[in-house]
Structure 1
Amino acid sequence: MTKRKNSGYKKTGKKPNKSQKSYGKKDSAPGNQKGSPSKGKGKGNDARQRGGKSVTAEVTCSGLTTDGKGIAQWEGKQLEVEHLLPGEKAEVLVSKSGKFVNAELKRVVSPSEDRVTPPCPYFYECGGCQIQHMSNDAQMRFKQKTIDALMKPFGKPEPILTMDHPYGYRNKNNMTFGLNKERQVIGGLYAQNSHHIIPMDRCLIHDPKADEIVQTIKDYMKSTKMQPYNEDTGHGFLRHVLIKVGKVSGEIMVVLVAASSVFQGKNNFLKALRKAHPEITTMILNVNTRNDSMVLGNQEKVLFGKGTITDTLCGLEFEISARSFYQINPVQTEKLYSKAIEMADLTGKETVIDAYCGIGTIGLIASKKAGKVIGVEENNDAVKDAIRNSKRNGVKNARFHQGDAGEFMVQMAARGEKADVVIMDPPRSGSDEAFLSSVVKLKPKRVVYVSCNPETQARDLKYLVKNGYEVEGIQPVDMFPQTVHVEAVTKLVRKK
């Protein structure tokens, strides 16, 4: 989850070294090598390749790093190898560059029972899904061990809440357009850590209807003069297509991210797209003239429809704009938010602060069981969305404020005001010390911490535990199957 927040946490101590996190060896029975990458037969254990500095070595994987890479030892060095699983023997290509050692998987000699054939043909090239080569059960165990290790100082986490159907879950998809070497239009995703577009017709974790729409747009571009934007030359029109889908409502938003507001052939394009996909309920032209990695620019124009879509979450209806933050996986979000509300122990009398409230999702859901909800968010557009969502759902006991949540709570404490529960849902960077100290000053009875990054959550929990709180519950949730990401909601109570 990515939201606009306070600056990074400062006095934190050392961050855990991912390369040192091993989760133990797992025995595996010999099996076939389905799904294992192979780049030709190896030349024997530690056979040096002629004319180069690379070395082919046979290694055995002893565990996984927190980012899903296999851990193996070679000549006294720890290797981290993508797509290698615990217990597997494999040939890897080892190369050195100064103090750094890189290892690339060549061939799995004895595969693990946990290895499966990745259903996505782009898996080894894309990098968006890091663990699709693991069975669903292996993914669950990997994420559970990640959470258990990080949260060990605070207690034993509950079993992770997984997803019954772990594909097609994303309600927000972004595809990029460009030209290949033959000057043909391509659309797809950037390869990991690059601006190289991998042409693809289908991403298996995307909503399938969204990918169908992208394919139609790509076909239309090929048959007309609409050109993709070229970052190097600055020429061309279409940069990205962002699609948001209401999983419950069925409403679909298409955002054309272009380099110019001059949309030649606009009427013909809209007519063709709406004819092919009548399920599209609104379309927006977003103009982005920036040269950085930001997808959306500041200028927007609604081409048809109301410019927003709606969707239902935990029984409430939310309006979603092109810029709104809304959880990517609504099926798992219901589990995550329901657990957060359960941990808040609401009886109908409590004053609840929804810090980092965004468009008001958690706060409005909590309002059904709280006495009063106060939402605080720095992004003014998000606050306006939250107020609209409050009115849409007839919520009378929630108020939303634009500003820094930490400063807001310090001011409350200075006025002698109280809050019974603080629900916090920060970005991946976690909270900063200023915010956490404001929680301590306000002295709520309970803090419910929803996190998309357990590493920064563990860091922040350490601060809260040192300053009068104790952890009473930890619930991990698999929000992003096929990837290494895992979220957790934690309940803290103030010591008497």
Structure 2
Amino acid sequence: MAKRKNSGYKKSAKKPYQSGKQNNKQSPPQGNRKNIKSKGKPDATGRNQRGKKRATIEVTCSGLTSEGKGIIEWDGKQLEVAYLLPGETAEVMVTKKGRLITAELKRVLKPSEDRINRLKQHPNAGVGCQIHHMNDQAQKRFKQKVVDDLMKPFGKPKPIMTMDHPYGYRNKNVMTFGLNRKKEIISGLYAENSHWIIPMEKSIIHDPKADEIIQTIKGMMKSFKMQPYDEDTGQGFLRHVLVRVGKKSGEIMVVLVAATPIFKGKNNFIKALRKTHPEITTIVLNINNRNDSMVLGDQEKVLFGKGTITDTLCGLEFEISASSFYQINPVQTEKLYTKAIEMAELTGEETVIDAYCGIGTIGLVASQKAGKVIGVELNKGAVRDAIRNSKRNGVKNARFYQGDAGEFMVQMAEHGEKVDVVFMDPPRSGSDEAFLSSVVKLKPKRVVYVSCNPETQARDLKYMVKNGYGVEEIQPVDMFPQTSHVESVAKLVRKV
């Protein structure tokens, strides 16, 4: 998927979601950081050695933000508290340092009926799942309300498409490796907005086999003298482990993300890992020696197998590499794509553009009902994957091009070329005005806008409506159960 800069449009204001029902207690996850030093302890005044002032207060939650955090009032200010539900009474730790005020849930005193405990055996299995403490109906109401509020200027969205079994759905798991205070190897996820590693053995949304493989690797590291990478010192070998699972093919890819290409004991390590997990079909070493937050580096070496796995989506088979963009929830993706194709109203004659086409998934699915498909993508590797996937599926009416989709469409308009439908599936930052203006110049009859962030989608729809398009349908899809994220697909039709 091509990465685009945010255009600078103002974000929509967060609106609290009201609920009312009242069940179980839930604590937030606990974390460790690589080589972290001990925190300052509070003195008799309640102020700790680093100048933070703390107080434990009893509060009642009045609503939810669009990110699923509880809203409370304290000292005339509105604060956000993770894992707190509307109507609940709770003890909250408020920390003030300078102008920064944060609030952390300590104990729920009066739980809501919407609360559920999914983490009975593994307390940290909900890391990264902002609303795992809501039952399924509460999650459905919350996400529907978020989309309804954002899309109010354009009409009433359809009822959200939910998932029958909203667990273990992710086909891509990434775990970060480090050391705790006792110099023990840990694996887990970074806490929000930090590089604190929260140790976890499994997640309620990860593929269970992928989590099992990662724990096996962690257990092997000591005997193979494999050290986790330390960001502070720049020493160590293993940074992350990424596991991709073909949910239908059963194929499994393991990607070892290392700080250096020098892998001592490589052959014996692979042999031992495959002995424990013969279901692994390929192993890749990815080299990441950068200092930024990207998981994967640009260099990789296949250690075992073909370096890719395959999976089936909407009847087509896709080849997936370590760096491929591929939707992480194939069950819900099929629902999403089926709806998007329906919105496009394809009859077999249309010329279709798949902007931000990635490895060609939605374009190739659309090719079965379109006259011609043109896919445009900035990432060269993704374009190679799209072309390979086109050949794999015997698709003759699709072509894929590397480049900026907006510039591509402007050139088409200048040459007088016609397009009937544009599919667009931008990153979370949404589109920018340059891209949207190129769509307007090309004048397709219909635009199908798939979004993983309804907030930026609403911003972009406003631009399209001002420039000759009407929003005819909006369909939310719960692609990410247990998290606050929601997907939305909108149908826009050009006014004659």
Report the TM-score when normalising by structure 2. 0.92
Distance change (3 Å), C-alpha of 1:122 and 1:79: farther
Shift of 1:122: 6.1
Distance change (3 Å), C-alpha of 1:387 and 1:317: same
Distance change (3 Å), C-alpha of 1:123 and 1:16: farther
Query: 1:352-391, CA deviations, whole angstroms, 9 ceiling, x for partnerless residues?
Result: 0000101100000000000100101111111111111000
Structure 1 Cα separation of the partners of residues 490 and 77 of structure 2: 36
Shift of 1:239: 1.4
Shift of 1:223: 2.2
Gaps of 5+ in 1: 40-48
2:11 aligned with 1:15: yes
Shift of 1:79: 2.0
Distance change (3 Å), C-alpha of 1:17 and 1:308: same
2:20 aligned with 1:27: yes
Secondary structure of 1:54's counterpart equals strand
The answer to whether the Cα contact below 8 Å between 1:35 and 1:118 also exists between their aligned partners in 2 is no
The answer to whether the Cα contact below 8 Å between 2:144 and 2:159 also exists between their aligned partners in 1 is yes
Q: Structure 2 counterpart of 1:328, which letter?
A: I
Structure 2 Cα separation of the partners of residues 311 and 38 of structure 1: 33
Task: Provide the alpha-carbon RMSD of the alignment.
Answer: 1.9
Residue of structure 2 equivalent to 1:51: 46
Shift of 1:313: 0.3
1:348-363 matches, cutoff 5 A? 348-363=348-363
The answer to whether the Cα contact below 8 Å between 1:38 and 1:108 also exists between their aligned partners in 2 is no
Shift of 1:264: 1.0
Report the TM-score when normalising by structure 1. 0.92
Structure 1 Cα separation of the partners of residues 258 and 345 of structure 2: 47
**Equivalent pairs, count:** 478
Q: Which shifted more, 418-427 or 113-122?
A: 113-122
Shift of 1:215: 1.5
Structure 1 Cα separation of the partners of residues 56 and 184 of structure 2: 38
Q: Structure 2 counterpart of 1:6, which letter?
A: R
Residue of structure 2 equivalent to 1:466: 466
Structure 2 Cα separation of the partners of residues 359 and 141 of structure 1: 33
Q: Structure 2 counterpart of 1:387, which letter?
A: I
Shift of 1:182: 2.7
2:41 aligned with 1:5: no
4+ long deviations beyond 6 Å: none
1:195-234 matches, cutoff 5 A? 195-234=195-234
Q: Percent identity?
A: 75
Q: Structure 2 counterpart of 1:7, which letter?
A: K
Distance change (3 Å), C-alpha of 1:38 and 1:270: closer
Q: Structure 1 counterpart of 2:3, which letter?
A: K
2:274 aligned with 1:274: yes
Structure 2 Cα separation of the partners of residues 361 and 205 of structure 1: 23
Query: 1:407-457, CA deviations, whole angstroms, 9 ceiling, x for partnerless residues?
Result: 111111111110000000000010010110011111111000000000000
The answer to whether the Cα contact below 8 Å between 2:126 and 2:204 also exists between their aligned partners in 1 is no
Secondary structure of 2:153's counterpart equals coil
Q: Structure 2 counterpart of 1:219, which letter?
A: G
Q: Which shifted more, 287-296 or 462-471?
A: 287-296
Residue of structure 1 equivalent to 2:36: none
Structure 2 Cα separation of the partners of residues 126 and 132 of structure 1: 6
The answer to whether the Cα contact below 8 Å between 2:126 and 2:203 also exists between their aligned partners in 1 is no
Shift of 1:181: 2.7
Residue of structure 2 equivalent to 1:43: none
1:447-466 matches, cutoff 5 A? 447-466=447-466
Structure 2 Cα separation of the partners of residues 475 and 96 of structure 1: 41
The answer to whether the Cα contact below 8 Å between 2:125 and 2:201 also exists between their aligned partners in 1 is no
Distance change (3 Å), C-alpha of 1:447 and 1:83: same
Q: Which shifted more, 368-377 or 188-197?
A: 188-197
Structure 2 Cα separation of the partners of residues 177 and 78 of structure 1: 36
Q: Which shifted more, 484-493 or 261-270?
A: 261-270
Shift of 1:27: 2.8
